[in-house]
Structure 1
Amino acid sequence: MTKTMGYRDWRWQALWWHHFFLLWTTIDGQTRYSIPEELKQGSVVGNLAKDLGLGLSDIFDRKLRVASEAGKQYFSVDAGKGELVVNDRIDREALCGQSASCVLPLQVVTENPLQLHRIEVEIKDINDNAPVFLTEEKSIKIAESTATGIRFPLETAQDLDVGSNSVKSYTLSKNDCFSISIKELPGNRKVPELVLEKSLDREKQSVHQFLLTALDGGNPVKTGTTQIIITVLDINDNVPTFKRPLYNVTVPENTNVGSILVRVEASDADEGVNGEIQYAFADHTPLSILSIFRLDSGTGEISLVGQLDYESSAMHEIDLTAKDKGVPEMEGHCRVQFAVIDINDNTPEVVLTSNPNPIREDDAPSGTVVALISARDLDSGDNGKVTLQLPKGSPFTLKPSFSNNYALVTSGPLDRESFSEYNIEITVIDSGSPPLSSKKTIQFSITDVNDNPPVFTQPSYSVYLKENGVPGSILYSVSASDLDSGENAKISYSILDSKVQDVSVSSYVYINSDNGSIYSMHSFDYEKLKVFQIQVQAKDQGSPSLSSNATVHVFILDQNDNAPAVIYPSSAAMGSLSHQRMPRSAKAGHLVTKVTAVDADSGHNAWISYKVSEATDASLFTVNLYTGEVRTKRAVSEQDDSSQRLLIEIKDDGEPVQSATVTVSILLEDGLHEPILDLRQKAVEPSKKTGRITLYLILSLASISVLSLVTFLILAVKCIRNSRSSASCCTRQSDCDDYKNPNRNLQLQLNTDGPIKYVEVLGGDMLSQSQSFRSCMSPCQSTVISL
């Protein structure tokens, strides 16, 4: 026994090494290896890296991996050697059953670039299964009158191996009456038959027992046995006979359960109970057949009790017997073959071979491989032919490779700002009737590239700010947006350096870099600064970063923060009384004096009005509301006090009102009528001093007029030459230097009315009769001429 086992072990090792060193072959551009089943884990199948033309470094760099279409991962790749090795036990019978060919398709995926290789591993059968009889003994009843040469079919042995390792022959143990004969059937099937070689004599021997041995063609040979028990019966000498020894039936796989498929019929020449026939499945009929088919023992009708599936088994073979009720019992035999017709009952499906990685929007030109997919359908023929479709307008196409494998590639550039994520729905349709289809959604994202600069909500902003505000208060908040995402869309704000009145704009304002809020550094004074600009920059945090600019125009709004200032009488402006003299002979409307004040504010805040607040005699004097002229309301009488005192209040039109007062002391004197008459006469003939002043005024006016004309001509020529220049060429009222010299165009006025002669400086408000003319040299330069 020990020697026998050693011989078998040696034979097994020799067979294993023989299959292990089989060379791999390439068929139709595919790599194929052949290995025996039941190889130990870690056994080398072949040098996969070398056969695919890859270096050992490519295994790591290109992330080489192996996927099995069978579902279970039987193989793996040795990353250090590039060899394909066995990863798990491989049982050929479990994988392929009785199929003559057993091939495991594998998909080898490499990245950078993404490629798919298909290899096949053929699993060779080894003789690892012995023939097995389904029953341990077979009982046969034979009438003693049975003629020699009659054959009795015996149970065939089942061997899970295929080819030369399957059942090859049968032998019968030594006996005197029977021999064994092998009957060849279509499909290379061998059925043993028991042949009666010598007439039986029940009285001599009623029971015959011997062993039937099945031998396979392996090396070493494996065997299986079953016991044959022959019972010799008395005469019932006619065997039931089927009309046909073989019935061929085609059945669609979607046939309804309960349908009658075929009716077998046998006849017996005997009469009475010896001729009554009952049909039955053969003793060796497997349970898989019994769960699908039912045989009516009386009629011979075979009906369907289970569901047919072409993909599980395309052919079913059933052995039937027809037994009579005679003594001894006689039986006939036939075979029924059911060929299952494929129906399009399997939905095709799309299998994702490789998971798609995120794609940069600037790194996906037309033809970039996004994912590798395959399609499969378990049906056969046209029912298994599939077609893949993409939605119309999709920026992707399917590029076929081999054996229902495809590459999903781009058909144009991708833009993350248009679509940040794609859900590609792939439809697979088979060619059956009616066709079946399914859908598979492949999802992948587009990673952002910093290709969009920040954009402000508007290119320029106008801010109106009241003067005298609190330092640190918010002026305005600008906002910009960026179509990119992540760091590429994070925006920081800053103020570009520029000059405002020769001072950096950063000394006036600062900006919150995170939210774009602009704050004042100190309080603004309208009388010093009326308008300035801020250049704000929004920059993202991409690499490289992108930016854009916006202009913020800040307009300072005037507040009534200046009280009127008295400039005449000058003594009153200095804080003392103004002493004026007038004759007692003055009539109503006599001009006593004129109070003049200016206000540094602008607009309504600079409109000045005059009013007598207190007076020694309120009925004697009045002040003009707008000009400040103090005149008599009536003629002076002898009863009027010689010393009159007026308190004149000067108010602006702002909110709240600002005011100032001036006190005018008037002395009423007798005997001044002569000088007054002389003065009035001299007013007709101006004195030398008055004439000199008038001459100076005329010369000044002429000089300024000439200068203005020359300036206007120069500006006109410059504007023609630089029509597209950003400089301002205009003739208009100035908005520039007035910011530094607030609100007033001072006027010179020669007053000769009444006994007092003076040169008066007036503020040019809207109630004044003066006119201002400016020749604008630039937005912040002007020449002012006041008449």
Structure 2
Amino acid sequence: MVFRWSSPEARCLLLSLLLLAFWEEGSGQLHYSVPEEAKHGTFVGRIAQDLGLELAELVPRLFRLASKDRGDLLEVNLQNGILFVNSRIDREELCGRSVECSIHLEVIVDRPLQVFHVEVEVKDINDNPPMFSVKEQKLSIPESRLLDSRFPLEGASDADVGENAMLTYKLSPNEFFILDIIKTKDKDKFPVLVLRKLLDREENPQLKLLLTATDGGKPEFTGSVSLLILVLDANDNAPVFDRPVYEVKMYENQANQTLVIWLNASDADEGINKEMMYSFSSLVPPMVRRKFQINERTGEIKVNDAIDFEDSNAYEILVDVTDKGNPPMVGHCTVLVELLDENDNSPEVVVTSLSLPVKEDALVGTVIALISVSDQDSGSNGQVTCSLTPHGPFKLVSTYKNYYSLVLDSVLDRESVSGFELVVTARDGGSPSLWATASVSVEVADVNDNAPAFPQPEYTVFVKENNPPGCHIFTVSAQDADTQENAQVSYSLVERRVGERALSSYVSVHGESGKVYALQPLDHEELELLQFQVSARDAGVPPLGSNVTLLVFVLDENDNAPALLTPPAGSAGGAVTELVPRSVGAGHVVAKVRAVDADSGYNAWLSYELQPTAGGGRSLFRVGLYTGEISTTRALDEADPSRQSLLVLVRDHGEPPLTATATVLVSLTESGQAQKVSSRALAGSAVQEAALVDVNVYLIIAICAVSSLLVLTLLLYTALRCSAPPSEGECGPGKPRLVCSSAVGSWSYSQQRGQRVCSGEGPPKTDLMAFSPSLPPCPVVEVEVEDQSVEGNQSRKVGCYIFIFVFCVVNIFSHRIFSNIYLRIFLFFEYRLYSNVPSNTFVI
């Protein structure tokens, strides 16, 4: 495939290769050039394409230019990515007489953050003509001057640089003078008049010439000055300096009256024509006259004002020496003073913040700020290095020359450190070095990285039953280590079902304070333990949360009176009627009152009292305090009334105690009457005699079977009770129990610790609850109660279930005597299992 270099494709390819090579050579810096005085909208370069950025991402990524110089001179069209001229660019105004002139741009794009450096060179155009400082230069030349005498002229100046400032001079045609050019080390040119024909004042007292200066630009510009030459009569010899040009080097910031140079001139004349006076030429600018002074008699040039390398690094002083002849004659020389730089300027630090505050989850390498440093000195005095203190999680990265980026070097944690005070120190390479600092405050912004935390995972709360609706029972509180909305905690219930009802029908929690309220009165008989969770959630995005468990124990109150068991069918008016032979002795059980209480603990502990009646039955009968059995106190006699009405009061041990009453009617009968009653009963049932014989046979069989079952049950129950292995060794502390004690007989709660009861004959018992009347009543407070061990009670539960089953069978198929015997045998074995309990301990 053959390319034609004149084709557009070939030119584009060549341009791309050149840009690529230029990019690699500039270490990531783009270089463009634009002529000064370019019109608004002039194309500079396709900056987006050259930086490898897509046009569609310029606006979303916040593409922008930053410049510490003149940021409004250039602009970028975000639609096509072209860099164009935005306002007038004057190279002379921007860079003065400097040969190199460029605009430094920083291109910044976000998401992710990137910083590019672009140098736009401003090229000079020939827009300034040569200028002379005066419109007319006057020269006084004696007619006696010899041929080839030289008379220096003030040259023109051009604000442009390069070829546009290369001046050529031309003198108007005349017969007396020609023009010669003197070149200095700085490649400047000074015009000098050279006398080619002797002057005759009488013939030509004055001459008018025109000096024209032309620059090297295209198109070229010219400037001119009039030369008025006055021809003087008399003095033949003019003073002459040792050298036409003197060069002096000295450091800046010299003190006043410091000697710069001592000029020396000589005159070949004699007498007064040899006496000379030194002075600055009329062409010396006022600014130079202020900086330096000359001694007119000795020719000493001294410093008269502050001289600063940064203001001007060189001075050109034209000096005249004039004799006192008549007419006086003048000699000329040029003194070039070159200033040497000293380290007298501290560095300057400019910080441009980009991403403040910094989120604590910012990635390592995130650019926090851009830092630029500068120093007006030159050479090593202007070479600046930067350092960061303290280092911490940040570091400085050099991006280009005197430009740095403050980047994140490690992860942040606002909960540990919420802010940093950084100091950027810039130090130059002078001796001694000078330095400057700049402070950067970096605030760490919070993110939601901490969930609300409760002090403990579970709380135990005790609430008395029958509480008023809406009462406050507990307050949960969670703390969040974050700030602002990330630390705003709200509370809510974790909804679940409690039986057939929703949890929210029992309790509620205030969303802000965390206070837990009981919405309805709680009933211990219906619900002993209410277990639920409260959730704490912050307001962050996304929100974080945690849960806490509440164990609400409903404490029993004495709100149920004792209830009497239903009297047998046929009893009159709910009273129990018992027939008692008069032949019974003392201690004979005539009846038994049974009552139950729906409460628990002391509130369900019942006692029985026999109330005095009008019949005086109180002295004849007594009732068991805790059994409810009514028995005779003495043997009956004929004098005792035949009908006795007993009133039994059943009382619980609650505060205040609740009571119930039962009426027992006792009929005293003679033995013969009892037999007669029995005979009549037998005679009345003669018809059923055959059936009764069959029933008795079945009864005997049932009694034998139940007796066998009784023995088997006792053996099985004893084996289960004694063979259950302890869960925690033979002896030792058991799990905490809820111990209730009261000196006045009411229930109260305290946090005690149950102990295993150990005996030498059998395993330790863990299902005891002891009550000590010496302990003070415990206030109802929020304490932690651990559940009882399940393993230690399994054997007892099995035995109790078997006992209940057999007891029911005995009551159904046998006489009450057998059931009583069975009950007493069971209680005896149960007591034997606890025979090692101290005598002063009450055992339930």
Q: CA deviation at 1:262?
A: 1.7
Q: Distance in 1 between matches of 2:611 and 2:336?
A: 134
Question: Aligned with 2:56: secondary structure?
Answer: helix
Instruction: Specify the alignment match of 2:553 in structure 1.
Output: 555
Q: Is 2:728 the partner of 1:729? A: no
3-state secondary structure, aligned to 2:22: strand
User: Could you tell me whether the CA contact under 8 Å between 1:568 and 1:595 is conserved in 2?
Assistant: no
Paired-residue identity, %: 42
- Specify the code of the residue in structure 1 equivalent to 2:335: V
TM-score by length of 1: 0.73
The aligned amino acid for 2:792 is T
Please give the alpha-carbon distance, in whole angstroms, between the structure 2 residues aligned to 1:736 and 1:130: 120
Counterpart residue number, 2:431: 433
The answer to whether the aligner puts 1:190 opposite 2:176 as a matched pair is no
Query: What does residue 22 of structure 2 align with?
Result: 26
The reply on whether 1:522 has 2:583 as its aligned counterpart is: no
Give the C-alpha shift of residue 189 in structure 1: 1.3
Cα distance in 1 between the residues matched to 2:707 and 2:341: 120
Relative distance call for 1:65 and 1:528 in structure 2 (3 A) is closer
Rounded Cα–Cα distance in structure 1 between residues aligned with 2:378 and 2:458: 71
Equivalent residues of 1:68, 1:74 under 8 A apart: no
Counterpart position of 2:327: 328
**Residue number in structure 2 paired with 1:36:** 35
TM-aligned CA distance change 1:515 to 1:91, over 3 Å: same
Q: Partner of 1:98 in structure 2?
A: 97
Shift of 1:649: 6.1
Q: 2:380 aligns to what?
A: 382
Distance 2:155 2:95 in 1: 21
Check whether the contact 2:211–2:226 (CA below 8 A) recurs between aligned residues.
Answer: yes
- Contact in 1 for aligned 2:260/2:301 (Cα 8 Å): yes
Provide the rounded CA distance (Å) in 2 between the counterparts of 1:127 and 1:545.
68
Q: Is the 8 A contact 1:569 1:595 kept in 2?
A: no
Tell me if structure 1 keeps the 8 A contact 2:472–2:516.
Answer: yes
Match of 2:66 in 1: 67
Give the distance between the partners of 1:635 and 1:299, measured in 2 at CA.
164
Could you tell me how far 1:64 is from its partner in structure 2? 3.7
> Greater CA deviation, 648-657 or 148-157?
648-657
After superposition, residues 673-692 of structure 1 pair within 5 angstroms as none
Are residues 1:536 and 2:597 paired? no
Distance 2:830 2:453 in 1: 46
Pair 343,624 (structure 1): closer, same or farther in 2 beyond 3 Å: farther
1:259 shift after superposition: 4.9
Question: Counterpart of 2:22 in structure 1: which amino acid?
Answer: T
Distance in 2 between the 1:494 and 1:38 partners?
72
Match of 2:157 in 1: 158
* Residue 556 to residue 292, structure 1, CA distance change in 2 (3 Å): farther
CA displacement, residues 201-238 of structure 1 (integer Å, 9 cap, x when unaligned):
44444443333332222333322233333334443445
Q: Spell out, residue by residue over 1:4-27, the C-alpha distance to the aligned partner (whole angstroms, 9 max, x if none).
A: xxxxxxxxxxxxxxxxxxx98827
Task: Give the aligned partner of residue 459 of structure 1.
Answer: 457
Gaps of 5+ in 1: 1-22, 676-690, 721-725, 738-746, 749-756, 761-767, 775-785
Please say if residues 62 and 110 of structure 1, whose CA atoms lie closer than 8 Å, have aligned partners that are also in contact: yes
> Residue type matched to 1:522 in 2?
Q
CA contact (8 A) 1:158 1:167 kept: no
Mapped contact 2:537–2:545 kept (Cα < 8 A): yes
Q: Is the 8 A contact 1:568 1:597 kept in 2?
A: no
Aligned residue number for residue 688 of structure 1: none
- Cα distance in 2 between the residues matched to 1:355 and 1:718: 67
User: CA–CA distance in 1 between the matches of 2:396 and 2:577?
Assistant: 106
Look up the match of 1:7: none
Q: Comparing 110-119 with 124-133, which one deviates more in the overlay?
A: 110-119
Residue number in structure 2 paired with 1:149 = 148
1:120-162 per-residue CA deviation (whole Å, 9 max, x = no partner) reads 3222222211222212222333333333322122212221112
Question: Are the structure 2 counterparts of residues 36 and 142 from structure 1 closer, same or farther at C-alpha, using a change threshold of 3 Å?
Answer: same
C-alpha separation in 1, matches of 2:273 and 2:636: 173
Structure 1 residues 615 and 188, CA gap change in structure 2 (3 angstroms): same
Encode CA deviations 1:428-486: one digit per residue, 9 max, x unaligned: 33322233333445566667666544433321111111111123333333333445567
The residue identity in structure 2 corresponding to 1:253 is: E
Counterpart CA distance in 2 for 1:736 and 1:228 is 137
AA of the residue aligned to 2:383: K
Matching of residue 346 in structure 1 with residue 407 in structure 2: no
Paired residue for 2:47? 48
How many Å separate the matches in 2 of 1:337 and 1:61?
58
Cα distance in 2 for partners of 1:532, 1:735 equals 26
Q: Greater share of strand residues, 1 or 2?
A: 1
1:479 to 456, 477, 480: 477
Change in Cα spacing, 1:644 to 1:243, as seen in structure 2 (3 Å) is farther
1:498–1:174 CA distance, 2 compared to 1 (3 A):
closer
CA distance in 2 between counterparts of 1:174 and 1:323 reads 29
Closer/same/farther in 2, CA of residues 706 and 275 from structure 1, 3 Å limit: farther
Of 466, 473, 476, the residue aligned with 1:468 is 466
AA aligned opposite 2:160: D
- Work out whether residues 567 and 575 of structure 2, in 8 Å CA contact, stay in contact via their aligned partners in 1: no
CA apart distance, 1:81? 3.2
Quote the Cα distance in structure 1 between the aligned partners of 2:148 and 2:544: 102
Distance in 2 (CA, whole Å) between partners of 1:664 and 1:342 is 129
Q: How far apart are residue 47 of structure 1 and its match? A: 2.9
> What's the counterpart of residue 507 of structure 2?
509
User: 2:556–2:599: 8 Å Cα contact kept in structure 1?
Assistant: yes
Q: Following TM superposition, by how much is the alpha carbon of 1:581 offset from its aligned partner in structure 2, in angstroms? A: 10
Match of 2:168 in 1: 169
Aligned AA (1:340): L
Corresponding residue pairs, total: 719
Give the partner amino acid of 1:729.
V
1:332-379 CA distances to partner (integer Å, 9 max, x unpaired)? Answer: 333333333323333334555772377776672x55555555443333
> After the TM superposition, which residues 404-419 of structure 1 pair with which residues of structure 2 at under 5 Å, given as runs?
404-415=402-413, 418=416
Q: Distance in 1 between matches of 2:233 and 2:134?
A: 26
User: 1:783 aligns to what?
Assistant: none
User: Partner letter of residue 464 of structure 2?
Assistant: K
Deviation at 1:556, TM superposition (A): 0.8
CA distance in 2, matches of 1:310, 1:554: 87
User: How far apart are residue 533 of structure 1 and its match?
Assistant: 1.2
In structure 2, what is the equivalent of residue 115 of structure 1? 114
Shift of 1:519: 3.2
Structure 1 residues 735 and 716: CA distance shift in structure 2, 3 A: closer
Partner of 2:221: 222
Deviates more, 1:197-206 or 1:540-549: 540-549
Taking the TM superposition and a 5 Å limit, the aligned residue runs for 1:226-237 are 226-237=225-236
Q: CA deviation at 1:420?
A: 6.1
Q: 1:235/1:259 Cα in 2 relative to 1: closer, same or farther (>3 Å)? A: same
Tell me if structure 2 keeps the 8 A contact 1:619–1:633.
no
The residue number in structure 2 matching 1:213 is 212
RMSD: 5.4
Are residues 611 and 272 of structure 1, via their aligned partners in 2, closer, same or farther at CA, if it must alter by over 3 Å? farther
Tell me if structure 2 keeps the 8 A contact 1:167–1:214.
no
* Counterpart-to-counterpart distance in 2, 1:337 and 1:575: 144
Moved more, 24-33 or 96-105: 24-33
Answer yes or no: is the 8 Å Cα contact 2:726–2:792 preserved in 1. Answer: no
Please tell me whether the aligned partners of residues 375 and 428 of structure 1 are also in contact (alpha carbons under 8 angstroms): yes
Q: Matches of residues 239-638 of structure 1 in structure 2 within 5 Å?
A: 239-243=238-242, 245-256=244-255, 258-269=256-267, 274=273, 277-297=276-296, 300-351=299-350, 355-356=354-355, 364=363, 366-367=364-365, 373-391=371-389, 394-415=392-413, 418=416, 425-441=423-439, 452-483=450-481, 493-501=491-499, 504-512=502-510, 516-539=514-537, 546-565=544-563, 598-607=596-605
Cα contact 2:97–2:160 (8 A) shared by 1: yes
What CA distance in whole angstroms lies between the structure 2 residues aligned with 1:417 and 1:718?
46
1:589, CA displacement in angstroms?
10
Please give the alpha-carbon distance, in whole angstroms, between the structure 2 residues aligned to 1:633 and 1:712: 39
Instruction: Answer yes or no: is the 8 Å Cα contact 1:564–1:600 preserved in 2.
Output: yes
| Alpha-carbon shift at residue 95 of structure 1 (Å) | 1.8
Amino acid aligned to 1:533: Q
